[in-house]
Amino acid sequence: MNTRMFRILWGSQTLSNLADTLYLIAVVLLVLQMTDSTLVAALVPLCRVAGQLACGVWAPVLMDRYRLTRIMGYSQLAQALIFAAMVFTASVLSEAYIGWMLFLVVLMSFADGATTPSCNALVPRYVPREELLRANGLLSTSDQIVMMMGWVLGGIIVAQIGSANTMAGTLVMYILALVFTLQLKEPASEVTLSELANLPEPLYAIGPADVTELANATERPNATGPANATQPPDVTELANATESPEALKASSRPGAWNSMKAGWQDIWRSRPLRAMVIMDTIEGLVSGAWIGAMMLVYVTDRLQKSEEWWGFLNAAYFIGAIGGALLIVGLTAKLSAKPALGVAVGSLLFAMMTGWFALTTVPLLAVVLTVLMGPAQQMRDITRRTLFQKACPPERLPKVLSAQNTLSYSLFGVSVVLLGYLSDRYGIQYVYLLTALFYFITALLAVFYRKSLNIT
């Protein structure tokens, strides 16, 4: 296990996620103060999703041209530079600059869009298979802690020192995250290194694919000799082999369209990946049930309570999510042995808690149920993330995760519109009952696909 690289990755993403949370709070409040319009302020998270979705489409093209560590370095550098522009804009912000600020939010999110799939694809390169579930549990724990700290303390910090000063402090976090990210290195392929070590100097500059081709060429049988006789590669092959690594890489690089569809093709060809994406799609259609607007309607209409109970539910969710992630870390051995069971049980428990949540009108019970949802959700999500990492070869994983992220962002937008309509038409209770039904379906699918999902 490359402990140092994993810790650097963990630290850089923790800092970056904390900065993301603080910057969103600061920008939303700043735009709200300048325009006094909830609609304009709501455009901030919408612009963020739009930027991430656009990057998700193009991320596979970048992954064919650059190493994951370089992509993350470029991403963090771009975020730091764009955010510096946002800090300057915030210092002179007026209503005339609101459009520019929203455009910067789109750029910021575009720069960040490739970070998550790249990070998740690097984890199995730094961590052995038997430790993947534990590593993902630790990453999820820190993510939830950072989000809770950001949303709980962020509002207090902004109220005390103002949005502009908060953004200036956040810029420092982005710079520190960049410093950590630039230290990341991808582990070299042991096979490639051993092959290259035994080659003469003229062939040492050849890429791994060309080494394999030449090795195979030396084992071809002669047309007139015995089957085990060999002949050297011809002059043309040796001449081509002396091309520069850059030229060889450029000649073998797929086109943009092939890069963008590669992840989807891998998902379609793999039964475990296809099963998990089907479950992601079903759950994605109701993912908008947990946005702030829906929860606020639930509190005011279903529980008949003031907005402060909305805060209680948010705090309860983070407490449950942190506890759930820590529980997964402790149950690594058992869940690694039967991952399909973890997905099925997690989805089933989450469906049951959500259904009860929809039916209750007791505020305290709603808070307790929200806490209990945390472990169920983490069991399902962390196990599925680990299955993605195990079911796909490391070199194909970045594009597969990029495709998954693109699907999630798209379904989230559809879900917000769909569930918003259902809430207005039938009431918030039916939104959560539908959500419970969809999670129950994914639990059944996990049982149906259990043989494919039991990857150890």
Q: What is the tens place of the pLDDT at every residue in 79-133?
A: 999 999 988 888 776 777 788 888 999 999 998 888 888 888 888 888 888 888 8
Q: Which CATH architecture has domain 1-187?
A: Up-down Bundle (1.20)
Q: Is 70 helix (H, G, I), strand (E, B) or coil?
A: helix
pLDDT, residue 2, reads 56
Contact 86, 101 (CB under 8 A): yes
Q: What is the tens place of the pLDDT at every residue in 203-252?
A: 333 444 444 444 444 444 444 444 444 444 444 444 444 444 444 444 45
Name the segment(s) of the chain with CATH classification 1.20.1250.20: 1-187, 262-456
pLDDT, residue 228, reads 43
pLDDT, residue 84, reads 92
Cα 67–chain centre separation: 17
298 secondary structure, DSSP code: I
Question: What does the buried/exposed string (b/e) look like for 247-257 if buried means 16 or more CB atoms within 10 Å of the residue's CB?
Answer: ebeeeeeeeee
Amino acid at 151: W
What is the rounded CA–CA span in Å between residue 315 and residue 186? 37
Which among 188, 187, 185, 218 has a CA at the least distance from the CA of 203?
218
Pick the CATH number of 262-456 from 3.40.50.2300, 3.60.20.40, 1.10.260.40, 1.20.1250.20: 1.20.1250.20
Residue bearing the bigger pLDDT, 199 or 38: 38
What is the rounded CA–CA span in Å between residue 374 and residue 145? 13
Which among 64, 318, 12, 26 has a CA at the least distance from the CA of 173?
12
For residue 25 the two structure tokens come to 């709070």
pLDDT, residue 89, reads 85
Q: Is 94 helix (H, G, I), strand (E, B) or coil?
A: coil
Using the predicted structure, report yes or no on whether residue 340 has a pLDDT greater than 80: yes
User: If you average pLDDT over every residue of the chain, what do you get?
Assistant: 80
State the DSSP string of 357-392. Answer: HHH---HHHHHHHHHHHHHHHHHHHHHHHHHHHHHS
What is the rounded CA–CA span in Å between residue 208 and residue 187? 15
pLDDT, residue 241, reads 45
Q: What is the tens place of the pLDDT at every residue in 135-176?
A: 888 888 888 888 877 777 777 787 788 777 888 889 999 999
Taking CA atoms, 356 is separated from 259, 278, 359, 415, 423, in Å, by 44, 25, 5, 21, 17
What is the rounded CA–CA span in Å between residue 412 and residue 341? 26
pLDDT, residue 99, reads 85
Q: What is the tens place of the pLDDT at every residue in 347-386?
A: 999 999 999 999 999 999 999 999 999 999 989 988 988 8
pLDDT, residue 447, reads 93
Instruction: Name the pTM for this structure.
Output: 0.74
